[in-house]
Every structure is written in structure tokens, then in C-alpha cells.
Structure 1
Amino acid sequence: MKLNIEQRKYIADVLKIIAIAQFAVIGYSGFVKGIASSFVGSGVMFAILVYFGMRVLEGGKDE
């Protein structure tokens, strides 16, 4: 699917917002409750979502 730069920026921003929100909810609650697996898993998910956001932005260079 071909996306223009504005669409790519929007998708990357949405992924960033989702990453921050899930880390705030799941990661913080895991940190407060002392559930290390929840905190670490949320951190990994944050990194994955940010990575995909960056890949969406870079996608325009491949076309």
C-alpha cells in the first residue's frame, strides 16, 4: 500500500501514542506491584511499537 508522508507521520504518531499509553498503564502498574515480568514485557512492547513506527516513516524511502 502506498502512503504519502502525512499518512506515514500519522501512523507513526499513533504507534508512539499507543506505545506510551501501554507502557504507562501496564509497565507502571507492574513496577508499582513489583511484577517484573509485566514491567519488562511492557518495555519490550514499547520498543517494538516504536521500532515499527520508525519503519513506517522509513517506508517512503523504499518506494
Structure 2
Amino acid sequence: ASYEKRRVTSYDPDFILRFSIHGLSRGFFEPIEFARLGLLAIAFVSIASTDEGIRKMGYDALGNFKQSLE
């Protein structure tokens, strides 16, 4: 049997979260676009990280998302 090789795609959570925080704070993203791009999901997942810095940025991103809804 032949197995299909799958390309594993990874991301740098530090970069993605900083990008998310900046983009939301500057109004570059509408809330629906932020969610559609998967950035809201990454923010939620990051608050369960074992890395304290990643957790803090996740909470910052979620806080900025909440502000963008108001």
C-alpha cells in the first residue's frame, strides 16, 4: 500500500498573535474577517499554551477582538 505524503504546515504563534493584536488595534480587520481567517481560533487555542508569553498575547488578542465588537 502506498501512503500519501502529507505536507505538515506549521505557524509561528508569536508572529500570528502579534499580527492579530496589531491588526485589530489598528482596525485592519473587521471582526467577521478576523474569525473567518482563523485568527480568532488561534487566539482561543493560545490561551491554553504552556508558554506564558503566548497565553498573554492570546488574552490580548481576545481583548482587542472584544473591543472591535463594541
TM-score, scaled relative to structure 1: 0.44
TM-score, scaled relative to structure 2: 0.40
Q: Per chain length, whose mean CA-contact separation is higher, i.e. which structure has more relative contact order (CA < 8 Å, sep 6+)? A: 1
Instruction: Flag the structure with higher helix content.
Output: 1
